[in-house]
Amino acid sequence: MIWYKKYSLQDVNAILAKNMTSFLEITAVDISDNALVATMPVTDRVKQPYGLLHGGASVVLAESVGSVASALIVNLEKFMVVGMEINANHIRAVKDGIVTATCTPLHIGASSHVWEIKIRNEQDKLVCISRLTVAVLKKR
Bin 25: left if φ > 0, else alpha if -120 < ψ < 50, else beta: left
Residue of 63, 77, 85, 116 marked catalytic: 63
63 is a catalytic site residue: yes
**What percent of the chain is modeled with pLDDT above 70?**
100
**What percent of the chain is modeled with pLDDT above 90?**
99
What's the rounded mean pLDDT across residues 96-103?
A: 98
Average pLDDT, the chain: 97
Q: Give the pLDDT confidence of 34-53 residue by residue, as tens digits.
A: 999 999 999 999 999 999 99
* First-to-final CA distance of the chain: 28
3-state secondary structure of 14: helix
Q: Give the pLDDT confidence of 2-26 residue by residue, as tens digits.
A: 999 999 999 999 999 999 999 999 9
Q: Can you tell me the distance from the alpha carbon of 27 to that of 46, in angstroms, rounded to the nearest whole number?
A: 15
Which sequence spans correspond to the domains of the chain?
9-138
Q: Is the pTM of this model over 0.75?
A: yes
Question: Element (H or E) spanning 98, and its range?
Answer: strand 98-108
Structurally, at CATH architecture level, domain 9-138 sits in Roll (3.10)
